[in-house]
Amino acid sequence: MTLEEIATFIVADGKGILAADESNPTCGKRFDSIGVESTEENRRDYREMLFRSKGMKGNIGGVILFDETIRQSAADGTLLREIILKQGALPGIKVDKGLQPIENFPGETVTVGLDGLDERLKEYAEMGAKFTKWRAVINIGDGIPSDECIHANMDSLAQYAKCAQENGMVPIVEPEVLMDGEHSIDACYDASERSLKSLFEHLEKYQVNIKGTILKPNMVTSGSNHNIQASINEVATRTIDCLVKNVPSELPGVAFLSGGQSDVLATAHLDAMNKIGGFSWKLSFSYGRALQAAALKAWEGKVENIFISQDELSHRAEMNKLASLGEWDEKLEDR
């Protein structure tokens, strides 16, 4: 498959991405919430359960994995990445190495991982990964984000994207403006616009093929502690406006992160945007928490809960596919 074919396949027909690339510490936090110990085997069992869910088929075009998971086999010995392929989705891999504070810029971080990236990508390509992900994090606060932080993060994102394409894999570029804080939706718009402008300038500078790239942005929302939360319609219109002004039309897909939104709200926002329309790219999802939260809660680490947990994941995958087509309705959530 060419880069263009991979990128268009992942977001075809309303399909989206299941982000299951939580690092072991993050997975530990998720498991703590249901009282399950984060062992290698439990992480395997949980992800095997997700990937075998009926609702993967037809709704999920790609799954982002963590290094441990792309190497893991299911309890019956089948590689987890083979299960993903059988469900009609492509396996992808998170390749950044996390956040590092920027010296003299309090409250800001840069994502690291360019050292040795080419070798790591070669190994993942051999294992069958078809796409990759790198997440940059932009914080909003007093006087931040700084231009220096945005520049450093977008430069690394673009270098990573070039390297992924040279190794035959589609880069998912994720410039996440965090929801955390008391800021207004205007502040989120401004930080998102500055980040996207800088990102596409850097992608052009490093001659990244935009047609073989997927953007994973945040939606433009009020800060999670802002006193008034913007309505669904306002989030939808401000997000579309920001993207249309700053994202080239030849990009095949935009797949949002959920960033701490509740699962139904993340679906409602995506649906509202697709009902409004007026953009050239597929507008889809690459949710972690908003796809997994209900499934994780239902599971509790117990074998007897596997079917209800899979049913929860299947339901969310289906709801988000409908939202990607602008065909979701709140009534469909009543089951």
Q: Which residues are catalytic?
A: 174, 216
The yes or no reply on residue 269 touching ligand 13P (CB under 6 A) is no
The yes or no reply on residue 320 touching ligand 13P (CB under 6 A) is no
The yes or no reply on residue 259 touching ligand 13P (CB under 6 A) is yes
Contacts of 231 (CB under 8 A, 6+ apart): none
Among 109, 192, 258, 309, binds ligand 13P (CB under 6 A): 258
The nearer residue to ligand 13P, 135 or 321, going by C-beta atoms, is 135
The nearer residue to ligand 13P, 98 or 106, going by C-beta atoms, is 98
Gap between the Cα atoms of 261 and 331, Å rounded:
19
Number of residues assigned to the chain: 335
**Minimum distance, C-beta of residue 258 to ligand 13P, in the bound complex (Å):** 3
Q: Which stretch binds ligand 13P (CB under 6 A): 8-16, 251-259, 300-308, 316-324?
A: 251-259
Among 150, 178, 290, 317, binds ligand 13P (CB under 6 A): 290
The yes or no reply on residue 295 touching ligand 13P (CB under 6 A) is no
Nearest position to ligand 13P, beta carbon: 288
**DSSP, residue by residue, 171-214:** EEEEEEE---SS--HHHHHHHHHHHHHHHHHHHHHTT--GGG-E
Gap between the Cα atoms of 69 and 295, Å rounded:
18
Which structure tokens are listed for 56? Answer: 């993967």
Please state, in angstroms and as integers, the Cα–Cα distance from residue 47 to each residue in 125, 226, 238, 303, following that order. 21, 35, 35, 13
DSSP state of 166: H
Closest CA to 158 of 229, 216, 206, 105: 206
Closest CA to 266 of 215, 317, 201: 317
Q: Which stretch binds ligand 13P (CB under 6 A): 80-88, 228-236, 281-289, 303-311?
A: 281-289
Return the half-sphere exposure (C-beta side, CA atoms, 13 A cut-off) of residue 232. 15
> Which string of x and - marks every residue 210-239 that binds ligand 13P (by CB under 6 A)?
------------------------------
The yes or no reply on residue 10 touching ligand 13P (CB under 6 A) is no
The yes or no reply on residue 19 touching ligand 13P (CB under 6 A) is yes
The nearer residue to ligand 13P, 6 or 257, going by C-beta atoms, is 257
Please report, as ranges, the residues that interact with ligand 13P according to CB under 6 A: 19, 21, 135, 174, 257-259, 287-290
